[in-house]
């Protein structure tokens, strides 16, 4: 059984959820609460020392990074291919998969409103907390 470690606010994880859904691959969803900092737990660190979702576990195979996971799924599970065979159109499609959803979707609206101030001392997780209170908290998410 495939397990996807994900978080509802993670646009990188949406990419994999779309791929799994379009290919019709059943999977178990395991939420990693990035706002609570669960990506830094010792258990999750064993899966991905970079402390990011998505992570896909397929029996003994563990893959992190949405782009790598997407290509893994496409090559291992050949049903309902998501990429065309023609190299030029395939390259254009890969370009699209990599750019959508744009990894900074949660940050963009706040940034547009001048309300997103990443604090290097606090790191990315605090930026997520700001997003949670701001963009999502205001009902825009």
DSSP for 67-116 reads HHHHHHHHHH--SS-SS-SSHHHHHHHHHHHHHSS-TTTTTHHHHHTT--
We find the least distance from the C-beta atom of residue 56 to ligand GSH, in angstroms, to be 10
Cβ proximity to ligand GSH, 86 vs 95, nearer residue: 95
Rounded Cα distance, 45 and 134, in Å: 28
DSSP annotation of 134? I
Figure out which of the listed residues 6, 51, 107, 116 binds ligand GSH, where binding follows CB under 6 A.
Answer: 51
Binding status of residue 66 toward ligand GSH by CB under 6 A: yes
Figure out which of the listed residues 4, 19, 52, 107 binds ligand GSH, where binding follows CB under 6 A.
Answer: 52
Cβ proximity to ligand GSH, 67 vs 86, nearer residue: 67
According to CB under 6 A, which residues from 96 to 135 bind ligand GSH? 103, 124-125, 128
Rounded Cα distance, 140 and 25, in Å: 31
Binding status of residue 47 toward ligand GSH by CB under 6 A: no
Which three-class secondary structure state does DSSP give residue 27?
strand
C-beta of residue 19 within 8 angstroms of C-beta of residue 110: no
Q: Which residues bind ligand GSH (CB under 6 A)?
A: 10-12, 34, 39, 51-54, 65-67, 103, 124-125, 128
């Amino acid at each position: 059984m495939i397990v996807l470690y994900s978080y509802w606010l993670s646009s990188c994880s949406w990419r994999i959820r779309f791929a799994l859904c379009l290919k019709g691959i059943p999977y178990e969803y395991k939420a990693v609460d990035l706002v609570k900092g669960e990506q830094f737990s010792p258990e999750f660190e064993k899966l991905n020392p970079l402390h990011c979702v998505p992570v896909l576990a397929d029996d003994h195979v563990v893959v992190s990074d949405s782009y790598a996971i997407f290509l893994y799924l496409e090559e291992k599970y050949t049903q309902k291919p998501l990429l065309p065979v023609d190299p030029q159109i395939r390259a254009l499609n890969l370009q699209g998969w990599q750019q959508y959803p744009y990894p900074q979707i949660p940050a963009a609206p706040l940034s547009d409103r001048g309300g997103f101030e990443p604090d290097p001392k606090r790191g990315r997780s605090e930026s997520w907390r700001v997003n949670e209170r701001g963009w999502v908290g205001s009902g825009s998410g």
